[in-house]
Amino acid sequence: MKRRDWLKISAITSIGLAFAKNTLAKTAIHYNRKYPFSKKDFGNEFIWGAACAAYQVEGAWNVDGKGASIWDTFTHKKRKIHNHDNGDQACDFYQNYKNDIALAASLNLDVFRFSISWSRIFPTGKNTINTKGVQFYHQVIATCKKQGIEPWITLYHWDLPQELQDEGGWTNRKILHWFEEYVDFCTKEYGDVVKNWMVMNEPAAFVGLGYMLGYHAPGKKGPFNFLKATHHACLAMADGGRIIRKNIKDANVGTTFSCSPVEPYKNKTNNRKAVQRIDTLINRLYIEPSLGLGYPYDGFPALRRIENYFEEGDLERLKFDFDFIGLQNYFRIVGKKAIWPPLVWAKEVPASKRNVPKNEMDFEIYPEGMYEILKQFGQYDGIKNIIITENGVCFKDEIVNGKIHDEERIQFFKDYLQNILKAKKEGVPVNGYFVWSLTDNFEWSEGYEPRFGLIYVDFETQKRYVKDSGYWFQEMLQD
């Protein structure tokens, strides 16, 4: 996630085993026992986890037969990446996965959410299978099970194989067939063991930033790219859901969406109309087709141009009854009318210009926004279950005598979880919370500077340090 990226979206759319479980249990320090809630308040069925994504943590970008992804290509060109960073090594999860999963289990988490790298399974995106890549994810899954933590898999977390992008990527309707083959293989390969699946991660982000503005991989621009990629992504989400359900008995099928409460600046009439357009693009565009509501032309009439890319049966094909949806919230958007860009005629007013609490990336820290977005999505009839599949915060973490005292992050979690609990008590079907992220990692165009993890990573030595916030979760989640 990146705040400047989201400003641009709203403008157009808007090691060691020494840290393993037993050792941590012995060395954990009690941090601020005065919780505003307890684990029991959320209920026995509420699940707790931490998340990551393949490109952001795995490294080993060209090891053991892996093919290049669009993020390998994009970062190697040093385009738009802070400090010219890349994910070639990242957290080296490819080598450190056993230690990292043991750490997750030591923090009393129920779930480890990770993604499969499409180009590690299919180096060219199709046809040829890389058996070493396939085996790697078997090992990750087996390690989760051994540690007593449930693996939840995201099938697409932005790292499209480069050879598919060379043929147009998400703007080429053939992507639907390529994606079906990939999902079919993964679910048949791992579905006997893994029952919880997410089709995609944040389509608004990878489409808007990658195919409209060019700030993320693959660096394409233009409204026609945006509309085509949007339609194909929405179709692929539904197609992927159907394949998972067909291939895996008792599968729990979901997909994830980035979302932000959107409010007008100074509550003026023109600003209210502007934020309606932003809300449509940020919060409605990718969820409503799957619910059978079609694309939200009422909030943004210019979207009707997407029908230029329809084929017969597409409106019905967009629908899929997900078992759950993942919501991912980091900040709210405060918007106003603007003379640029055309069609949207709206822009965000940054947190830095509103004198509000913010994190290192200029995300506004607004816990009430979590409650507001849950209430907003809870109004949809077709949503049966909600999991917060990402939420977290970055601050300037410093190691002091081998420890990271991140009290601000602990307070962030307390405040956001309190608002989740409030929504849950009011009937919103929210039944899980996954921290972004388990470890510090490569944060896309922001590189390695922002640190979101419960676990600090020294990227030079690859040594891990559990932060106070990690110990806070360990204690709060203990039985």
| Enzyme catalytic residues | 202, 390
State the amino acid at position 114 in one-letter form: F
Q: Are 175 and 225 in contact (CB under 8 A)?
A: no
Sorted by sequence, the CB contacts under 8 Å of residue 334 that are 6+ apart come out as 262, 263, 264, 265, 348, 349, 354, 364
In angstroms, the CA 57 to CA 101 distance is: 13
144 vs 38: CA distance, rounded Å = 26
Output the CA–CA distances (angstroms, integers) from residue 433 to 61, 267, 474, in the order listed: 30, 32, 14
Instruction: Give CA–CA dist 245/141, Å, rounded.
Output: 20
The kind and range of the H/E element at 97 are helix 93-106
Q: Which of 187, 250, 174, 259 has the alpha carbon at shortest distance from 1?
A: 259
Taking the C-alpha atoms of residue 251 and residue 22, their distance in angstroms, rounded to an integer, is: 32
Cβ-based neighbour number of residue 64 at 10 Å: 13
What b-and-e string marks burial along 403-432, b requiring 16 or more CB atoms within 10 Å of the CB? ebbbeebbbbbbebbbbbbbbbeeebebbb
- 3-state DSSP: the chain helix, strand, coil percent, rounded to 5? 45, 15, 40
Residue 463: φ, ψ to 5°: -80, 145
Torsion sign across C-alpha atoms 434, 440, 441, 446? positive
Q: What does DSSP assign to residue 213? A: B
Q: Which two tokens stand for residue 322?
A: 């997900």
3-state DSSP assignment of residue 466: strand
